[in-house]
Amino acid sequence: MVLTRSSKKAPKPQTPPVKNLSKAQTPPLSKAEKPQTLTSKKGAKSQKKPPLKKQKKDVVVEEEEVSDVESEEIDESDDGEKGSNGFFSDDDGEELLGDDFLEGSGDEEEVLSSDSDSDSDEDDIQKESEAIDRAKAKEEEDADAELLDFNKEAGPEEHETFRLPTQEELEEEARGPPDLPLLQSRIKEIVRALSNFNVLRPKGASRKECVEQLKTDLASYYGYNSFLIGALFELFPPVELMEIIEAFEKQRPTSIRTNTLKTRRRDLADVLLNRGVNLDPLSKWSKVGLVVYDSQVPIGATPEYLAGYYMLQGASSFLPVMALAPKENERIVDVAAAPGGKTTYVAALMKNTGLIFANEMKVPRLKSLTANLHRMGVTNTIVCNYDGRELPKVLGERSVDRVLLDAPCSGTGVISKDESVKTSKSLEDIKRFAHLQKQLLLAAIDLVDATSKTGGYIVYSTCSLMVAENEAVIDYALKKRNVQLVKTGLDFGQDGYRRFREHRFHPSLKQTKRFYPHVHNMDGFFVAKLKKMSNMKQASEDDDEAVETVEQADVSSDDDEEAEAMEEMEKLSVPSKQPKENKERLAKSKEKKKGKKDGKSKSINVERKPKKKRSDWKKEIAQAREEKRRAMRENSKGKQ
């Protein structure tokens, strides 16, 4: 039986090479010849496997060759049946088992081949994953090595030689003009040392000395005053401080906002591209913004600009309006509206429905506000000229649905636009702005109706980086009014501070957002969104009196003679209370001894009478301001 099978199947290995004439014929023949000399099972396996595999590979052949292959498969099936019958017999079990194993049906071998293919795929995936892991490990090693090289770029010997300048050397530098290359190299060395002070510490220098020298060098190299450099140093570590200072030295990209009342962003972009303006969509978070890289025509004097198709507006100015999220048919107040970028954006989102009160305190800025409103086609806005702190009295408390307060601030986030901020701001300015912002925010909260079906929100924003003008103001409002912080709806930006140095703020301040020029490529900005929970005030009468006395001090900035006179009278009365209270205590102790209680009670009653007349001086101040406004209007009309 064995001889007949081998004779039948001897030509079988020769058929696959006939199919693949283009391929090399020698390897299959050599493989077929070698197993004939072997008598073991392994030799038999090597004899049969190559033809089976080649039959699978060479499926598409000519018709004549297919017929030959079918005849051979019939022979194999006949042999397989014989082998299967012999498998259950007891004669020559081992040989018949080997023959039957080799001559099994094609389906079994297809399953085996598919299993081998799946195993090979799994092996390939495993190898690829191992290669990815090795690549990641190598990247981490390279990053660590690069960081080490950055810290020791000049070599350990040169770092050891670096030292802070002595007092004599500083005096010599102060006598002449600033040596900018020397300052720049020293700034880099100190920043590198502070990034890893334990390793790169200069000889004989403490961390405090390095920090003070860095502040001095930064102030002289970039033109800052000592206060602002110190304030920025409290906000950022040395490496990030250098990044934001360098970002302030560069202009932010020019951005424009599409006026959806008149056009669409795609149509506007096509028109401006035809005029030679190189632009792109601003970002994924804005559906109306475009960033302008360069332009062959003045971007603020195109026919589209004059027709009100777009507004020149910084990217950071989009954020407060997006956080406000105005709805149609609402009553909204913009406390500080000029020049009108945010107001027109609100009107576009409302589709010219509802009512907007655009307030601006400074009369010269009203012209730009009204001009932009007309140019952009806004028809649902009323322009008014009031102090933002008086709006609850003018419009009425609980009279609107939403309020946008882009408060006046120190401008420490827009130094790239106004470099005078580097030297003009001081601690007193920050305190003055913070106090004004607290008053404006309380007034804005009083304007909102907590029972509004769609609103009840207040958005507070500044272009300042100072914590005293941002988180501290919001924390003050949380204590004085029944409001809560809610999410701004902005998906990017850094969370506000919950703690800063010795200050501890409300935990919900993490829902506020901060934006930095070196991180987000826009002006420094702060945005917070408040929800008014009830119309009840949490502030006590003493706190209100304190706020009112400060309001008197702020009224003096309007050059109103009568207001100044009233303010001086009140100032004189406030410090006189302390000695009077001391005298009253002494009088009480004496009267207890001498029994003179009647005189004491009369003096107390006399002193308490002025407190009941606070409304009088408020009315007088309001009247004085109205008279002044009328006089200014009459003078302007007379000049015209």
Q: How far apart are CA 338 and CA 355, in angstroms?
A: 17
The closest alpha carbon to 484, from 454, 528, 449, belongs to 528
Binding site, annotated residues for S-adenosyl-L-methionine: 336-342, 360, 387, 406
Tokens of 472: 């501290």
End-to-end CA distance of the chain: 127
Which of 210, 384, 409, 463 is flagged as catalytic? 463
Tokens of 366: 């009203």
Tokens of 492: 């990017």
Helix (H, G, I), strand (E, B) or coil at 289: strand
The closest alpha carbon to 557, from 628, 630, 464, belongs to 628
Secondary structure element (H or E) that encloses residue 608, with its range? helix 597-608
- Give ∠ CA 522-527-533 in degrees, rounded to 5: 165
CA 67 to chain centre: 72
Active site (annotated) includes residue 463:
yes
**Which amino acid is located at 428 in the chain?**
E
The closest alpha carbon to 618, from 541, 559, 516, 547, belongs to 547
Q: How far apart are CA 463 and CA 409, in angstroms?
A: 7
* C-alpha gyration radius of the chain: 42
- Give ∠ CA 125-126-130 in degrees, rounded to 5: 115
User: Which phi and psi angles does 491 have, rounded to 5°?
Assistant: -80, -10
Residues in the chain: 640
Q: Give the Å distances, CA to CA, from 120 to 56, 106, 113, 446.
A: 18, 21, 10, 72
Helix axes 93-102, 63-87, angle to 10 degrees: 150
Contact 429, 410 (CB under 8 A): yes
Long-range residue pairs from 198-202, CB within 8 A, at least 24 positions apart, any chain: 199/151, 200/151, 200/152, 200/159, 202/162, 202/163, 202/164
Q: How far apart are CA 326 and CA 328, in angstroms?
A: 7
Q: How far apart are CA 299 and CA 256, in angstroms?
A: 9
Q: How far apart are CA 252 and CA 463, in angstroms?
A: 14
CA 379 to chain centre: 33
- DSSP H helices, 152-176, are 156-161, 167-175
Q: What is the DSSP track for 334-380?
A: ESS-TT-HHHHHHHHHHTT-SEEEEE-S-GGGHHHHHHHHHHTT--S
Bridge-based pairing of strands 355-359 and 331-334 is parallel
- The catalytic residues are 463
